[in-house]
Structure 1
């Protein structure tokens, strides 16, 4: 179970500011999900963040520096958890961004979370249109990450890909199983419990059988306009049951 976030803003999730305090809040939230399976605290740091400005190289993204990743990883370790590096590539390629964090991905407790909603084309601007990716692009990232696991004799590494709506991930079946990787599709639908459940059913129906299901909740967006957050009991009642639950 995880929290998302980035330094300097609460808009991207509760994982910001005092990270030990955020870890305590995560631990409290996770108690509601306790079952016969242990709950692994997961810090999903938005490492590469899509931007509305092109930046020096015109890629419409900014990258977290080593000091930021180091601080988040240290906090995740103090919490007994893992760190996922979130990637919103803008006009860059997912694989290009993943390779940038190679030295961190050779750590045993660092995985990946890809956010294709923010992967836009060469004439598009993040936030003005939905981005997308393909199973072929996911497969390239998975192949690279699995290679690092083999090369460095690492434990299994999570590779999450988020999907907000249909069409954001194409040809999903081209993503194949990889030894050393735990593949997870996180369904990120926003809105009422009924809307989120409908999105869940629609997007999990296209999930390859070897990809685990994940579910994302939004403390602010899901409750705007007088709405309510789905309860842990409702989340655990989804079928297939989510293996990964993320709060933003």
Structure 2
């Protein structure tokens, strides 16, 4: 009896040992930490000599972070409107050709920074009419989001889902997109211009988001990354006035969300530089972006678009470039 009992113990120990040797936890390699020395060097280069940058409170990102190791160059727009940006203006093949041509221009302008293409899709658009729900916005059907994600695949582009909430809130709209945001290549953006907290019709006045709204998003995206074991998300906030983002100093930075304040104004070079200086450079958060308008920037002669070299001379140097 004693021998049988000992034999059983040995069998149990052998099986336990074999199971331990084949469990995924033991055989799956852990992702390497980021190269902090390289990260610091890139962030200091990005500052372009401005002592306020990089922001000291920013944590090191988790592995898989896109920024500042790359620059993102995006086409912005909506599939239902040719007037909202380059993304919806051209057929997919032509749109991708044009975007990749811009990618090559930026690669040549800054040979030290790899460039990643992106499609920045407005999936909730502000509306002048209240609509059935009284939200003053229109949610795009999921079939259209699916189409954009498919359009991105031939060039391995990132996809940004951007929302213009109207009378709704980011707290209402963001969770509706979780099925897409749990994809590793899908990121997020919000447009304070069309967040009509004071009750105006979108387009009549410029709207606003507070740090509390932005912190809701960073918290949500952070938890999403943890839940689905995702690399850090890039989160873009558009801005061209002071009131569009209030209490910027209270924005909370997280190691799995990379925050970009994108200068969204259009006009002549002097105006765009000034807008960037006062509302992006002067109120540091983490990373910066810059929007270039194919039409509006050149609307009044002799206006022209800023060149990549001129954009790269800004302090700090934008790591996210958007074309509309």
Instruction: Give me the TM-score of the superposition, normalised by structure 2.
Output: 0.74
Deviation at 1:105, TM superposition (A): 0.6
Deviation at 1:206, TM superposition (A): 4.0
Which residue is equivalent to 2:191? 115
Q: Is 1:175 paired with 2:251? A: yes
Q: Is 1:165 paired with 2:241? A: yes
Coordinate RMSD, CA, aligned: 1.2
Deviation at 1:161, TM superposition (A): 0.3
Q: Are 2:281 and 2:316, in contact at CA under 8 Å, matched by a contact in 1?
A: no
In structure 2, distance between residues paired with 1:146 and 1:52? 33
In structure 1, distance between residues paired with 2:76 and 2:304? 19
Deviation at 1:169, TM superposition (A): 0.4
Which residue is equivalent to 2:140? 64
Look up the SS of the partner of 2:306 in the other structure: coil
Which residue is equivalent to 1:223? 298
Which residue is equivalent to 1:8? 80
User: How does 1:51-200 map onto structure 2 within 5 Å?
Assistant: 51-121=127-197, 123-200=199-276
Runs of 4+ in structure 1 deviating by more than 3 angstroms, as ranges, are 205-209
Deviation at 1:181, TM superposition (A): 1.1
**Count, aligned residues:** 247
Q: Are 2:242 and 2:279, in contact at CA under 8 Å, matched by a contact in 1?
A: yes
Which residue is equivalent to 1:246? 322
Look up the SS of the partner of 1:77 in the other structure: helix
In structure 1, distance between residues paired with 2:77 and 2:236? 15
Look up the SS of the partner of 1:3 in the other structure: strand
Look up the SS of the partner of 2:300 in the other structure: helix
Tell me whether 85-94 or 171-180 shows the greater mean CA deviation. Answer: 171-180
Give CA-to-partner distance per residue, 1:87-116, whole Å, 9 cap, x none.
100000012111111100111111111100
Give CA-to-partner distance per residue, 1:127-180, whole Å, 9 cap, x none.
011100101110001100111011000111110000021211000122111121
Structure 2: gaps spanning 5 or more residues: 1-72
Look up the SS of the partner of 2:86 in the other structure: coil
More helix as a share of residues: 2
In structure 2, distance between residues paired with 1:73 and 1:164? 28
Give CA-to-partner distance per residue, 1:44-97, whole Å, 9 cap, x none.
000000000001100000011111111101111221111000110000001211
Deviation at 1:122, TM superposition (A): 5.6
Deviation at 1:207, TM superposition (A): 3.3
In structure 2, distance between residues paired with 1:122 and 1:187? 23
Structure 1: gaps spanning 5 or more residues: none
In structure 2, distance between residues paired with 1:117 and 1:246? 17
Deviation at 1:193, TM superposition (A): 0.5
Deviation at 1:182, TM superposition (A): 1.1
Q: Are 2:240 and 2:276, in contact at CA under 8 Å, matched by a contact in 1?
A: no
In structure 2, distance between residues paired with 1:207 and 1:3? 26
